[in-house]
Amino acid sequence: MSESPASPPAHLPATVLVTGASSGFGAAIARRFAALGSRLIITGRRRERLEALAIELGVPCLVLAFDIRDRAATQAALTTLPAEFAAIDLLVNNAGLALGLGPAHRTDLDDWEAMIATNVQGLATCTRLLLPGMVERNRGHVVNIGSIAGNWPYPGGSVYCASKAFVKQFSLALRADLLGTRVRVTNIEPGMAETEFSLVRFHGDSARADQVYVGTQALTAGDVAEAVVWCATLPEHCNINRIELMPTAQSFKGLAVHRDKEAL
């Protein structure tokens, strides 16, 4: 006897906007919500990838290609949504990147600025533009994709780690502002996951990017999407503040101590 298909979760967000859906977590999150029956707004800079994904999703889907570092472009895209997509129930602030892994004193200032403009300013802009509608409807959920890097500093991570610490505190402070509304905020903090993340971090050096994942089992984009779906389909009275998830094969190394060889 064949099993009957699982029914969609009772608290499925009807309209979901995912930033950075042209790759990695964002694409996986869009696929998961489309499979459950949500309608999607998918954003990123690479229009062709988004259009291909929209066809694959097979649900009503709006493609918005813009750079979230560009406030005017972001505003133009998010304030002119067609009526069918205007009432966003879930905003997944996923678009983001790390650039470089060098020590702070040798890093490229352009890389720092790009990370701040994307992970901090872009995420804050999308939130600020879409939050008033959620508050007005007294319904909605902002899921931010932070990182373990916001909790655990590591060499070469300076501005990337700091940008994800911003995401953590921004998420918590939003919760404070939204008290008394039914709008929820969650920060998902993944550890090492195999996506295009390292390819971007190492400026397209695929050999170096591949090395990050050799001989270990990283999280998948699907693992992260699963966590987002779980948080976003809980009953409205229940807010998950944060989830930190890591591959089982990743852990902590402790504090570093420099010892002067001459003193030994």
Query: Looking at this protein, which amino acid is placed at residue 18?
Result: V
By CB under 6 A, which span of 49-57, 73-81, 141-149, 237-245 interacts with ligand 8X3? 141-149
Between CA 98 and CA 15, with CA 48 as vertex, the angle to 5 degrees is 80
Determine, following the binding rule CB under 6 A, whether residue 133 of this chain makes contact with ligand NDP.
no
Region near ligand NDP per CB under 6 A, out of 61-69, 79-87, 128-136, 202-210: 61-69
Question: Is there a catalytic annotation at residue 160?
Answer: yes
Which residue stretches of the chain are H helix?
A: 24-36, 47-57, 71-78, 83-86, 109-115, 123-137, 158-177, 197-201, 206-213, 221-232
Collapsing DSSP to helix, strand or coil, 202 comes out as coil
Helix axes 24-36, 221-232, angle to 10 degrees: 50
Q: Residue 72 in contact with residue 47, Cβ under 8 Å?
A: no
Least distance to ligand 8X3 from the beta carbon of 244, Å? 11
Q: Pick the catalytic residue from 160, 170, 197, 202.
A: 160
Q: Which is nearer to ligand 8X3, 66 or 170 (CB)?
A: 170
Amino acid in the structure at residue 94: N
Q: What are the structure tokens assigned to 237, written together?
A: 């009275």
Does 148 contact ligand 8X3 by CB under 6 A?
yes
Q: How far is the CB of 143 from ligand 8X3 (least distance, A)?
A: 16
149 binds ligand 8X3 (CB under 6 A): yes
**Is there binding between residue 150 and ligand NDP (CB under 6 A)?**
no
DSSP 219: B
Only one of the segments 168-176, 190-198, 235-243, 244-252 lies at the binding site for ligand NDP (rule: CB under 6 A); that segment is 190-198
**Residue positions counted in the chain:** 264
In sequence order, which residues have a C-beta less than 8 Å from that of residue 74 and are 6 or more positions away? 66, 67, 68, 122, 125, 126, 129
Q: Which is nearer to ligand 8X3, 66 or 112 (CB)?
A: 112
46 binds, among ligand NDP, ligand 8X3, none (CB under 5 to 8 A by kind): ligand NDP
Query: In the numeric block, which tokens belong to residue 217?
Result: 């089992």
CA–CA dist 75, 189 (Å, integer): 27
Closest approach, Cβ 147 to ligand 8X3, in A, equals 3
Q: 75 to 114, contacts with ligand NDP by CB under 6 A?
A: 94-97
- Closest contact distance (angstroms) between CB of 83 and ligand NDP is 24
Nearer to ligand NDP, 115 or 178 (CB): 115
CB neighbourhood size of 228 (10 A): 25
Which residues are marked as active site? 160
- Residues forming the site for ligand 8X3 (CB under 6 A): 147-149, 157, 191-192
